[in-house]
Protein backbone atom coordinates (compact mmCIF):
# COMPACT_ATOMS: atom_id res chain seq x y z
CA UNK A 1 0.00 0.00 0.00
CA UNK A 2 1.54 3.27 -1.12
CA UNK A 3 0.87 6.44 0.88
CA UNK A 4 1.69 9.52 -1.15
CA UNK A 5 1.61 13.26 -0.56
CA UNK A 6 1.26 15.05 -3.87
CA UNK A 7 1.56 18.72 -4.82
CA UNK A 8 0.46 20.14 -8.15
CA UNK A 9 -0.66 23.44 -9.62
CA UNK A 10 -4.44 23.66 -9.75
CA UNK A 11 -6.08 25.66 -12.53
CA UNK A 12 -9.36 25.88 -10.64
CA UNK A 13 -7.76 27.13 -7.42
CA UNK A 14 -4.92 29.08 -9.06
CA UNK A 15 -2.26 27.86 -6.69
CA UNK A 16 -0.23 24.83 -5.74
CA UNK A 17 -2.41 22.39 -3.81
CA UNK A 18 -1.74 19.28 -1.75
CA UNK A 19 -3.53 15.99 -1.39
CA UNK A 20 -2.76 12.64 0.21
CA UNK A 21 -3.34 9.42 -1.68
CA UNK A 22 -3.65 5.82 -0.57
CA UNK A 23 -2.89 3.61 -3.56
CA UNK A 24 -2.96 -0.21 -3.10
CA UNK A 25 -0.47 -0.70 -5.91
CA UNK A 26 2.51 -2.23 -4.09
CA UNK A 27 1.07 -5.21 -2.25
CA UNK A 28 3.61 -7.91 -1.56
CA UNK A 29 1.37 -10.81 -2.52
CA UNK A 30 2.87 -14.28 -2.14
CA UNK A 31 0.93 -17.52 -2.50
CA UNK A 32 3.27 -19.43 -0.23
CA UNK A 33 5.51 -18.05 2.52
CA UNK A 34 7.49 -21.27 3.07
CA UNK A 35 10.28 -19.77 0.95
CA UNK A 36 11.97 -16.49 1.70
CA UNK A 37 11.32 -13.67 -0.78
CA UNK A 38 14.01 -13.48 -3.44
CA UNK A 39 13.72 -9.77 -4.09
CA UNK A 40 12.32 -7.81 -6.98
CA UNK A 41 11.01 -9.98 -9.80
CA UNK A 42 11.50 -8.10 -13.06
CA UNK A 43 9.55 -10.76 -14.99
CA UNK A 44 6.36 -10.10 -13.06
CA UNK A 45 4.11 -7.28 -14.19
CA UNK A 46 4.01 -4.59 -11.53
CA UNK A 47 1.36 -2.54 -13.31
CA UNK A 48 -1.79 -2.97 -11.20
CA UNK A 49 -5.31 -2.94 -12.49
CA UNK A 50 -7.27 0.27 -12.29
CA UNK A 51 -8.57 0.80 -8.76
CA UNK A 52 -11.95 1.91 -7.56
CA UNK A 53 -11.54 5.32 -5.96
CA UNK A 54 -12.97 7.23 -3.02
CA UNK A 55 -12.49 11.00 -2.89
CA UNK A 56 -12.59 11.74 0.83
CA UNK A 57 -13.20 15.30 2.06
CA UNK A 58 -12.24 16.70 5.46
CA UNK A 59 -14.34 18.93 7.69
CA UNK A 60 -13.98 22.55 8.71
CA UNK A 61 -10.70 23.56 10.37
CA UNK A 62 -9.07 20.42 8.92
CA UNK A 63 -6.79 19.50 6.05
CA UNK A 64 -5.65 16.61 3.86
CA UNK A 65 -4.11 14.72 6.80
CA UNK A 66 -7.26 14.51 8.92
CA UNK A 67 -8.69 11.21 7.71
CA UNK A 68 -5.43 9.31 8.09
CA UNK A 69 -4.78 10.80 11.53
CA UNK A 70 -8.33 10.35 12.81
CA UNK A 71 -9.42 6.98 11.40
CA UNK A 72 -8.16 3.60 10.22
CA UNK A 73 -8.92 4.40 6.58
CA UNK A 74 -5.40 3.35 5.52
CA UNK A 75 -5.83 -0.19 6.83
CA UNK A 76 -9.36 -0.63 5.50
CA UNK A 77 -8.51 0.74 2.05
CA UNK A 78 -5.70 -1.80 1.79
CA UNK A 79 -8.01 -4.64 2.77
CA UNK A 80 -10.50 -3.66 0.07
CA UNK A 81 -8.14 -2.68 -2.78
CA UNK A 82 -9.54 0.84 -2.69
CA UNK A 83 -7.66 3.97 -3.72
CA UNK A 84 -8.43 6.96 -1.50
CA UNK A 85 -7.73 10.57 -2.48
CA UNK A 86 -7.79 13.10 0.38
CA UNK A 87 -7.52 16.73 -0.79
CA UNK A 88 -7.22 19.94 1.21
CA UNK A 89 -10.23 22.23 0.96
CA UNK A 90 -9.41 24.96 3.46
CA UNK A 91 -12.61 26.30 5.08
CA UNK A 92 -14.41 26.94 1.80
CA UNK A 93 -17.14 24.29 2.09
CA UNK A 94 -15.96 22.55 -1.09
CA UNK A 95 -17.98 24.88 -3.32
CA UNK A 96 -17.08 27.41 -6.00
CA UNK A 97 -16.54 30.92 -4.73
CA UNK A 98 -19.86 32.66 -5.40
CA UNK A 99 -18.12 35.70 -6.89
CA UNK A 100 -16.66 33.52 -9.63
CA UNK A 101 -13.14 34.55 -8.70
CA UNK A 102 -10.54 31.96 -9.68
CA UNK A 103 -8.12 33.41 -7.15
CA UNK A 104 -10.60 32.74 -4.33
CA UNK A 105 -11.08 29.18 -5.50
CA UNK A 106 -13.51 27.08 -7.51
CA UNK A 107 -13.51 24.21 -5.02
CA UNK A 108 -16.52 22.44 -6.51
CA UNK A 109 -14.93 22.23 -9.95
CA UNK A 110 -11.69 21.20 -8.29
CA UNK A 111 -13.30 18.21 -6.56
CA UNK A 112 -15.67 17.17 -9.33
CA UNK A 113 -13.47 17.72 -12.36
CA UNK A 114 -9.84 18.75 -12.01
CA UNK A 115 -8.81 16.54 -9.08
CA UNK A 116 -10.53 13.51 -10.61
CA UNK A 117 -8.84 14.08 -13.96
CA UNK A 118 -5.41 14.73 -12.44
CA UNK A 119 -5.47 11.67 -10.19
CA UNK A 120 -6.72 9.42 -13.00
CA UNK A 121 -3.88 10.64 -15.21
CA UNK A 122 -1.33 10.13 -12.44
CA UNK A 123 -2.38 6.88 -10.74
CA UNK A 124 -3.90 3.58 -11.95
CA UNK A 125 -7.50 4.58 -11.18
CA UNK A 126 -10.63 3.38 -12.89
CA UNK A 127 -12.21 6.00 -15.19
CA UNK A 128 -15.66 4.49 -14.76
CA UNK A 129 -18.45 6.26 -12.92
CA UNK A 130 -19.49 3.07 -11.16
CA UNK A 131 -16.00 2.86 -9.62
CA UNK A 132 -15.81 6.47 -8.43
CA UNK A 133 -17.18 7.66 -5.08
CA UNK A 134 -17.13 10.79 -2.90
CA UNK A 135 -17.51 11.07 0.87
CA UNK A 136 -16.81 13.48 3.68
CA UNK A 137 -17.54 14.53 7.24
CA UNK A 138 -19.16 17.72 8.55
CA UNK A 139 -18.17 20.43 6.05
CA UNK A 140 -16.84 17.62 3.88
CA UNK A 141 -20.16 15.79 4.18
CA UNK A 142 -21.85 18.87 2.78
CA UNK A 143 -19.19 19.04 0.06
CA UNK A 144 -19.69 15.39 -0.82
CA UNK A 145 -23.44 15.92 -1.20
CA UNK A 146 -23.35 19.09 -3.27
CA UNK A 147 -20.58 17.89 -5.57
CA UNK A 148 -21.84 14.34 -5.86
CA UNK A 149 -25.21 15.72 -6.96
CA UNK A 150 -23.63 18.42 -9.13
CA UNK A 151 -21.45 15.88 -10.94
CA UNK A 152 -23.59 12.71 -11.03
CA UNK A 153 -21.86 11.67 -14.24
CA UNK A 154 -18.60 11.40 -12.26
CA UNK A 155 -19.66 9.94 -8.90
CA UNK A 156 -21.89 6.90 -8.52
CA UNK A 157 -22.05 6.99 -4.70
CA UNK A 158 -22.08 9.70 -2.03
CA UNK A 159 -21.45 9.28 1.69
CA UNK A 160 -22.19 12.21 4.00
CA UNK A 161 -21.19 11.75 7.64
CA UNK A 162 -22.56 14.34 10.08
CA UNK A 163 -22.94 16.73 7.15
CA UNK A 164 -22.95 20.45 7.88
CA UNK A 165 -26.36 21.13 6.33
CA UNK A 166 -26.85 24.51 7.96
CA UNK A 167 -28.88 26.29 5.29
CA UNK A 168 -31.94 26.39 7.51
CA UNK A 169 -30.10 28.79 9.81
CA UNK A 170 -29.52 31.20 6.94
CA UNK A 171 -32.28 30.73 4.37
CA UNK A 172 -35.84 31.06 5.69
CA UNK A 173 -38.01 28.17 4.55
CA UNK A 174 -35.17 25.98 3.29
CA UNK A 175 -36.10 23.31 5.80
CA UNK A 176 -38.77 22.74 8.42
CA UNK A 177 -36.41 23.23 11.36
CA UNK A 178 -36.38 26.16 13.76
CA UNK A 179 -33.78 28.84 13.20
CA UNK A 180 -31.21 27.84 15.81
CA UNK A 181 -28.38 29.78 17.35
CA UNK A 182 -25.35 27.53 16.98
CA UNK A 183 -22.82 30.18 17.92
CA UNK A 184 -22.03 28.24 21.10
CA UNK A 185 -20.53 25.54 18.88
CA UNK A 186 -19.18 27.41 15.86
CA UNK A 187 -18.39 30.85 17.28
CA UNK A 188 -20.23 34.15 17.28
CA UNK A 189 -19.33 34.90 13.66
CA UNK A 190 -20.34 31.59 12.10
CA UNK A 191 -23.40 33.01 10.31
CA UNK A 192 -21.36 35.84 8.81
CA UNK A 193 -18.63 33.38 7.85
CA UNK A 194 -21.13 31.11 6.10
CA UNK A 195 -22.60 34.06 4.24
CA UNK A 196 -19.15 34.94 2.95
CA UNK A 197 -18.68 31.39 1.67
CA UNK A 198 -22.20 30.99 0.25
CA UNK A 199 -22.56 34.48 -1.18
CA UNK A 200 -25.98 35.98 -1.87
CA UNK A 201 -28.39 33.83 0.11
CA UNK A 202 -31.24 34.73 -2.21
CA UNK A 203 -29.29 33.05 -5.01
CA UNK A 204 -28.60 29.75 -3.26
CA UNK A 205 -31.90 28.07 -4.15
CA UNK A 206 -31.63 26.71 -7.67
CA UNK A 207 -27.83 26.96 -7.72
CA UNK A 208 -25.15 24.27 -7.60
CA UNK A 209 -25.04 24.82 -3.83
CA UNK A 210 -28.68 23.80 -3.43
CA UNK A 211 -28.44 20.08 -2.62
CA UNK A 212 -32.21 19.68 -2.27
CA UNK A 213 -32.85 21.43 -5.56
CA UNK A 214 -30.24 19.42 -7.46
CA UNK A 215 -31.65 16.19 -6.07
CA UNK A 216 -35.19 17.17 -7.08
CA UNK A 217 -34.00 18.00 -10.60
CA UNK A 218 -32.26 14.65 -11.00
CA UNK A 219 -35.39 12.90 -9.77
CA UNK A 220 -37.70 14.89 -12.05
CA UNK A 221 -35.59 14.33 -15.17
CA UNK A 222 -35.06 10.62 -14.54
CA UNK A 223 -31.29 11.01 -14.38
CA UNK A 224 -29.08 8.55 -12.54
CA UNK A 225 -29.01 9.60 -8.89
CA UNK A 226 -25.87 8.55 -7.02
CA UNK A 227 -26.40 6.15 -4.15
CA UNK A 228 -26.52 8.06 -0.87
CA UNK A 229 -25.22 7.02 2.58
CA UNK A 230 -26.22 9.41 5.35
CA UNK A 231 -25.14 8.94 8.97
CA UNK A 232 -24.92 11.05 12.10
CA UNK A 233 -24.21 10.57 15.80
CA UNK A 234 -27.15 10.50 18.18
CA UNK A 235 -25.59 13.21 20.35
CA UNK A 236 -24.41 15.39 17.46
CA UNK A 237 -25.57 18.99 17.81
CA UNK A 238 -26.59 19.07 14.13
CA UNK A 239 -28.31 15.68 14.05
CA UNK A 240 -31.60 17.36 13.18
CA UNK A 241 -30.09 18.51 9.87
CA UNK A 242 -29.43 14.93 8.82
CA UNK A 243 -32.88 13.90 10.00
CA UNK A 244 -34.43 16.67 7.90
CA UNK A 245 -32.55 15.57 4.79
CA UNK A 246 -33.47 11.95 5.45
CA UNK A 247 -37.14 12.99 5.48
CA UNK A 248 -36.61 14.91 2.25
CA UNK A 249 -35.07 11.86 0.58
CA UNK A 250 -38.05 9.79 1.66
CA UNK A 251 -40.43 12.46 0.37
CA UNK A 252 -38.80 12.25 -3.07
CA UNK A 253 -38.72 8.45 -2.80
CA UNK A 254 -34.97 8.42 -3.31
CA UNK A 255 -33.42 5.14 -2.21
CA UNK A 256 -30.69 5.72 0.36
CA UNK A 257 -29.03 4.33 3.47
CA UNK A 258 -29.62 6.27 6.68
CA UNK A 259 -28.48 5.56 10.20
CA UNK A 260 -27.90 7.15 13.55
CA UNK A 261 -25.58 5.70 16.14
CA UNK A 262 -23.86 6.37 19.44
CA UNK A 263 -21.52 9.33 19.34
CA UNK A 264 -21.24 13.01 18.62
CA UNK A 265 -19.50 15.26 16.15
CA UNK A 266 -16.17 13.50 16.69
CA UNK A 267 -13.61 11.07 15.34
CA UNK A 268 -14.86 8.18 17.42
CA UNK A 269 -18.10 8.26 15.47
CA UNK A 270 -16.46 8.95 12.09
CA UNK A 271 -13.92 6.14 12.47
CA UNK A 272 -16.70 3.59 12.81
CA UNK A 273 -18.88 5.28 10.22
CA UNK A 274 -16.27 5.30 7.46
CA UNK A 275 -15.81 1.55 7.92
CA UNK A 276 -19.55 1.13 7.35
CA UNK A 277 -19.28 3.32 4.26
CA UNK A 278 -16.57 1.06 2.82
CA UNK A 279 -18.72 -1.99 3.55
CA UNK A 280 -21.62 -0.26 1.72
CA UNK A 281 -19.57 0.60 -1.36
CA UNK A 282 -19.51 -1.97 -4.20
CA UNK A 283 -15.97 -3.15 -3.48
CA UNK A 284 -14.26 -6.46 -3.97
CA UNK A 285 -15.18 -9.17 -1.48
CA UNK A 286 -12.09 -11.18 -2.41
CA UNK A 287 -9.38 -8.54 -2.09
CA UNK A 288 -6.22 -10.02 -0.61
CA UNK A 289 -4.32 -8.17 2.09
CA UNK A 290 -0.71 -7.46 1.27
CA UNK A 291 2.47 -8.31 3.14
CA UNK A 292 3.57 -5.39 5.32
CA UNK A 293 4.79 -4.59 8.82
CA UNK A 294 1.35 -5.27 10.26
CA UNK A 295 0.83 -8.49 8.29
CA UNK A 296 4.11 -10.39 7.99
CA UNK A 297 2.53 -13.73 7.07
CA UNK A 298 0.11 -13.38 4.16
CA UNK A 299 -0.90 -17.02 3.87
CA UNK A 300 -0.20 -20.26 5.65
CA UNK A 301 1.11 -23.23 3.70
CA UNK A 302 -1.26 -26.18 3.61
> pLDDT tier at 301 (50, 70, 90 boundaries)?
very low
Does a structural domain hold residue 212? yes
22 in Cβ contact with 73 (< 8 Å): yes
Q: Tell me: the pLDDT tens digits for 62-77?
A: 999 999 999 999 999 9
Mean pLDDT of 2-25: 95
Q: Which of 74-83, 149-158, 169-178, 209-218 has the lowest mean pLDDT?
A: 169-178
Q: What percent of the chain has pLDDT over 70?
A: 80
Q: Which of 152-156, 186-190, 208-212, 279-283 has the lowest mean pLDDT?
A: 186-190
Three-state secondary-structure class, residue 300: coil
Three-state secondary-structure class, residue 147: helix
Q: Which of 26-35, 73-82, 132-141, 149-158 has the lowest mean pLDDT?
A: 26-35
For 171-210, where are the alpha helices, taking DSSP H only? 183-186, 190-198
Cα dihedral 61, 65, 67, 68 sign: negative
Q: Tell me: the pLDDT tens digits for 31-67?
A: 444 555 666 666 665 556 799 999 999 998 899 999 9
Bridge partners (DSSP) listed for residue 85: 21, 55
- Distances in whole angstroms, Cα of residue 12 to Cα of each of 36, 87, 244: 49, 14, 33
Read off the pTM.
0.89
Mean pLDDT of 216-222: 97
Give the CATH number, domain containing residue 263: 3.40.50.1820
CB-count burial class (<10 Å; 0-12, 13-18, 19+) for 22 = buried
Does a structural domain hold residue 291? no
Does a structural domain hold residue 122? yes
Does a structural domain hold residue 29? no
Domain holding 192, by residue range, is 2-24+49-279
**CA-wise closest residue to 271 among 86, 72, 114, 107:** 72
Does a structural domain hold residue 78? yes
User: Is the pLDDT reported for residue 30 higher than 50?
Assistant: no
Does a structural domain hold residue 179? yes
Q: Tell me: the pLDDT tens digits for 154-186?
A: 999 999 999 998 676 677 667 776 666 666 666
Does a structural domain hold residue 170? yes
> pLDDT tier at 229 (50, 70, 90 boundaries)?
very high
User: 302 CB contacts (<8 Å, ≥6 apart)?
Assistant: none
Q: How many domains does the chain have?
A: 1
**CA-wise closest residue to 107 among 83, 86, 88, 134:** 88
Q: How far apart are CA 133 and CA 144, in angstroms?
A: 9
User: Is the pLDDT reported for residue 13 higher than 70?
Assistant: yes
Amino acid sequence: MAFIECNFFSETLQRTVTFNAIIPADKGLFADRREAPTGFDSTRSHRPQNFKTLYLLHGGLGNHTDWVNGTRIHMWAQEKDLAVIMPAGDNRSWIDDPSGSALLGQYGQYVGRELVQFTRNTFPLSPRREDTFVAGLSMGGFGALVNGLRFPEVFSRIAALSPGLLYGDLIPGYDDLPNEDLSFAFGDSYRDDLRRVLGNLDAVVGSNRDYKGMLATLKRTGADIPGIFLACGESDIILNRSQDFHRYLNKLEVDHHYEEGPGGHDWTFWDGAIKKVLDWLPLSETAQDGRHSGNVVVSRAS
